[in-house]
Amino acid sequence: MELRVDRQTLADAVAWAARTLPARPALPVLAGMLIEATADGELTLAGFDYEVSARARDDATVTEPGLVLVPGRLLSDIVRNLPPQPVDIFTKGAEVVVRCGPAEFGLRTLPVEDYPTLPEPPAQAGTIPSDLFATAIGQVTPAAGRDDTLPMLTGVRIDIEGDTMWMACTDRYRIAARELTWSPADSGFTAGVVVPARTLADTAKAIRRGEDVAISLGGAGDNLIGVSGGGRSMTSRLLDDQYINYKSRLTGTWSSIAEIRVAPFTEALKRAALVTERGTPIQLAFTSGEVRIRAATGDSARANESLEVEFTGDDIDIAFAPQYLLDGLAGIDTEYARLECAGPTKAALLTAIPDKKDGDEEAPGDQADTGYRYLVMPVRLNS
């Protein structure tokens, strides 16, 4: 193998492929990164841990095509620290040499014949703009569980019916969901799968912006999902598709409704959280035209702040874990949010209120739905 490639192009490709490298590989070869150069000038780097695979394809000047396996994390560290000059990669005996300007490294190759076959994704089910994909994943994944003993809760539930896609996560204390429109290959396509949230979150952050992302899903017997776009692709094993009926929990009758500006509310919550200890809630007292935000840690510190709100319904004093509320607000990119409550001990619903368009005289609450829902359980206060 012998090739030359732009340093930044190589760094981006290596970073993508290195995402799947296991910290403690079950087999030594799984610590390797596969490098393939073809005669038509395509460079592919790949990593695989039997659960998730990642491939990056880019153009390179290939003098001699070939396929090699090298220590992946070491290659990633090397490439990240190379000077901004073209990179030459070639084999020399049992080594792969990486040369960039005055710097040269030799990596001992791993037995490529022992490397497992990379999985091929199912058929393409449809496409979605990369920015929309990344935004939706960023909105829902903060609510995913972290307890691996409950695998279902560590995933993103994706439901598809024609051109409508729902994404949702829950850790039992909150549900974050997003409804959006995508472009299915078949207008009658339906699916319901659970994908590891950490994998999707990493993919959404790293996928190139400005291009469509292709989603690949098979039939009922297929346990893989594929996501690809801009020369980057990944596959992941699916989790058990059993999931709570989250949609039914996102509707209800609300006795108290507040519309509040997101930025001032977020900053006030962050200030109040400064005096809270782990497990200490923030109290919100809603009355006509005002919300009073209170927090305290015993007798050692307290915070008290008031903000203007548009409020209708019954006055309410309700408390939340501050980070849970902040996570929900972080998923809102409009000026106003709506918080709907049905009592101090029942789950509250946080939604985004679309910004008014220029010349639109309607109130913020009269605008179209953004598709984002965040249901959060309050903390029961001691009477």
Contact by Cβ (8 Å): 97, 13:
no
DSSP β-bridge partners for residue 339: 258, 350
SS3 content of the chain, % helix, strand, coil (to 5): 20, 45, 35
Question: Lowest-confidence range among 1-5, 279-283, 360-364?
Answer: 360-364
Could you tell me the pTM of the whole model? Answer: 0.89
Q: Distance between CA atoms of 192 and 181, rounded to whole angstroms?
A: 16
Residue 56 has pLDDT above 90, yes or no: yes
pLDDT of residue 362: 54
Dihedral angle of Cα 312, 313, 314, 320, to the nearest 10 degrees: -60
pLDDT of residue 381: 76
> What letter would DSSP give residue 369?
P
Query: What separation in angstroms does the CA of 16 have from each of 5, 61, 179?
Result: 16, 20, 28
Structure confidence at residue 383 as a pLDDT band (50, 70, 90): low
Contact by Cβ (8 Å): 336, 363:
no
pLDDT of residue 304: 94
Structure confidence at residue 47 as a pLDDT band (50, 70, 90): very high
Contact by Cβ (8 Å): 24, 114:
no
Q: Distance between CA atoms of 170 and 245, rounded to whole angstroms?
A: 11
pLDDT of residue 117: 94
Mean pLDDT score of the chain: 92
Q: What is the pLDDT of residues 258-277, one digit of tens each?
A: 999 999 999 999 999 999 98
Q: Distance between CA atoms of 375 and 346, rounded to whole angstroms?
A: 10
Q: Distance between CA atoms of 50 and 53, rounded to whole angstroms?
A: 7
Residue 240 has pLDDT above 50, yes or no: yes
Structure confidence at residue 360 as a pLDDT band (50, 70, 90): low
pLDDT of residue 365: 46
Residue 140 has pLDDT above 50, yes or no: yes
pLDDT of residue 3: 97
Residue positions counted in the chain: 383
Q: What is the pLDDT of residues 149-169, one digit of tens each?
A: 888 899 999 999 999 999 999
Q: What is the pLDDT of residues 285-308, one digit of tens each?
A: 999 999 999 998 877 788 999 999
